[in-house]
Structure 1
Amino acid sequence: MSYNFEELSFSEAKDLLRKWRENNERRSDDVIELWTSVISDNVAKLGNEKHLVLEQVMYAALDCHAYHIAVMCTCMLSYEFPNSMRVLRYDAAYNEAKEAYGEALETLDKIIKADETNAAARKQRVAVLKSQGLINEAIKELVDYLKKFMSDVEAWQELCTLYSRQGEYARAAFCAEELLLHQPHNHLMHQRLADIRYTMGGVENMELAKSYYCQALKLNPDNMRALLGLFLTTNNLLSHYKSAGNAGKRKEVWKLCQWAQSGAARRQGQTRAPSAAAAPDLTQAMLALAIQD
């Protein structure tokens, strides 16, 4: 939705900023335009929302590289809260945006030294290290953070991603299992762990991946990525179950493979599932569907 900000009243502009905050809409360009055209000359009229708006505008200014606005908002907040750790984090964010990473880390270290339980500062420190490409250091910092804040789901997700980027899939799988403990009914968590197990390879990991893909599809039958993963996993396991002693497992895996094929066919709007001989072509089709999904 487009707005003509110059025609908005102050009350309407304030309500619009509140709406974006409550809906977690970043809208940085719009926030800056609204600030410059309506709000900036009447900051005192914001009342109890003054500090929230200043914070909102400050982060929007950093997104838009309008550093002069960010500095002005930070100075106004610093004047009212001279010893605030939260305002110090704004300084760190400002230095990070300007790629002054050393100064940003120095400010964050100062905050953490004053308050070891400041979770926001610790997570921001991880973000600064990532911005510098120091992935191993970011991992170490995140591990230390999770020793103190073990229930932080976002931190476990980030650590899982960082381990995967570094090729440390066993540790990534551990993080994914922790995520499952926190969100056992989230199909994406099951799918993520299955993806990692599939990437690790080997019969044992493939069997685990098959189980997690099945659970993801049980929780959300429309999860096309899990359907694709189940097809690829079962197709891989079929080559391992060729001996006579694995006839039962091979039959079960074959049924799952057929089921995954028919599910993909239905998603494509086909009237019948493709034959086993068409499996390689189906893989490409399912990949295309997963990307579109």
Structure 2
Amino acid sequence: MAQAITLSSALNDLSTARTRGYRDSNEIVRKGLFVLEQKNGLQQLGDNVWDFLEQLAIAALDIGQLDLADDCIHRLDEQFPKSMRVEKLRGMRIEAQDLGLALQFYEQALEKDEANVDLWKRLISVLRQQNKIERCIAELDSFLDTFYSDIEGWLELADIYASQNLYTRSQQALSHVLLLAPQNPFHALRFAETAYSANDVPLALRYFLRTIELTTDDESGASSVGVARRAWFGVRLCTKHLLSNPGAVSESNTPPMKKENLESLDILAAERLTAAYSSTQAKTSVPGRTEVLKWLSS
């Protein structure tokens, strides 16, 4: 049963979602509709009313409430008739029904404003949805030549390459992410896992350890615990592989680790993971716990 909503709680929750980038579209639409239905709901928003309508339009598109999205976009268009943010919403509205028309729409819009980041990203998204991978990559390359510091763009490029099993190219894209955000453990973990998929196990081990190093002083709470645990799994996989294949080649020319160091790391990874999966909480809440502990003891 859904908790009763008040106008103040709905406005506060929607504001928090906008500030933190939450995208629980069903909840945003539920609370957004409640605000619209209140007599003075929009007036309570003040200057934030336009951000609210944009937020609600995107959420409505996410869950297929096209009439609600149309209403929000219409209100925004009346207030900002030449806004590129409204133009982006129009494009997303077209995407909901026809990707081909949406592609044409973005192409025409970019002819007027060729450096518009949001419209360019939407065009790239449509190309990927249409599985036009070669052109999608070409557009992303061009986009990143123009906006090198756009981390989302590099992550998207890495993901596209990985989806095509081009893991070395995915690594190359992620290396730019590491340059732009060297202290982010999530990016280091992703690089490590991609290197492992590319069969560069020495490089993967190096970045699994780097991930653990970054999470040691991380203050993000539970999320960092999960990242560290996943990294320790990676360390164990790497040490097992390298101890069984001492002549493993590293395409990145990452120096091999001494056997005694690999053995120590293997033991340490097993200890850390065993402790994590032997906790009181893990005993009752982690599926596959018995199988994991059996693997760790091998």
Same fold (TM over 0.5): yes
Cα-to-partner distance string for 1:173-196 (whole Å, 9 max, x where unaligned): 111211111122222222222212
Q: Map 1:44-123 to 2 at 5 A.
A: 45=43, 46-98=45-97, 100-123=98-121
Give the alignment's TM-score, normalised by structure 2.
Answer: 0.78
Cα-to-partner distance string for 1:33-54 (whole Å, 9 max, x where unaligned): 3444442565773542232222
Q: Measure the CA separation in 1 of the matches of 2:190 and 2:9.
A: 43
Residues 37 and 153 (structure 1), Cα distance of their counterparts in 2 relative to 1, 3 Å cut: closer
Cα-to-partner distance string for 1:211-253 (whole Å, 9 max, x where unaligned): 11222222225411211111111111112338xxxx9822222
Q: Measure the CA separation in 2 of the matches of 1:214 and 1:126.
A: 34
Match of 2:207 among 203, 207, 212: 212
Q: Measure the CA separation in 2 of the matches of 1:288 and 1:118.
A: 51
* SS of 1:83 mapped into structure 2: coil
Cα root mean square deviation, aligned:
3.0
Shift of 1:62: 1.0
Q: Measure the CA separation in 1 of the matches of 2:240 and 2:10.
A: 57
Q: Could you list the runs of 5+ residues in structure 1 that have no partner in the other structure?
A: 271-281
Q: Measure the CA separation in 1 of the matches of 2:29 and 2:191.
A: 41
Shift of 1:101: 0.7
Residues 50 and 218 (structure 1), Cα distance of their counterparts in 2 relative to 1, 3 Å cut: closer
Residues 286 and 149 (structure 1), Cα distance of their counterparts in 2 relative to 1, 3 Å cut: farther
Cα-to-partner distance string for 1:105-147 (whole Å, 9 max, x where unaligned): 1221122111122111111112112222333332222111111
Does 2:259 correspond to 1:250? yes
Structure richer in helix, relative to its length = 1
Q: Measure the CA separation in 2 of the matches of 1:27 and 1:172.
A: 29
Alpha-carbon contact 1:89-1:107 (below 8 Å) kept: no
Does 2:234 correspond to 1:229? yes
Give the alignment's TM-score, normalised by structure 1.
Answer: 0.80
Q: Could you list the runs of 5+ residues in structure 2 that have no partner in the other structure?
A: 217-224, 248-255, 280-288
Q: Measure the CA separation in 1 of the matches of 2:197 and 2:294.
A: 16
* SS of 2:103 mapped into structure 1: helix
Alpha-carbon contact 1:241-1:249 (below 8 Å) kept: no
| One-letter amino acid of the counterpart of residue 135, structure 2 | E
Q: Which has the higher Rg, Structure 1 or Structure 2?
A: 1
Q: What fraction of aligned residue pairs are identical, expressed as a percent?
A: 30
| One-letter amino acid of the counterpart of residue 156, structure 2 | E
**Which residue matches 1:268?**
277
Does 2:246 correspond to 1:241? yes
Q: Measure the CA separation in 2 of the matches of 1:265 and 1:96.
A: 48
Match of 1:191 among 189, 192, 196: 189
Alpha-carbon contact 2:92-2:102 (below 8 Å) kept: yes
Alpha-carbon contact 1:228-1:286 (below 8 Å) kept: no
**Which residue matches 1:285?**
292
Q: Measure the CA separation in 2 of the matches of 1:240 and 1:144.
A: 41
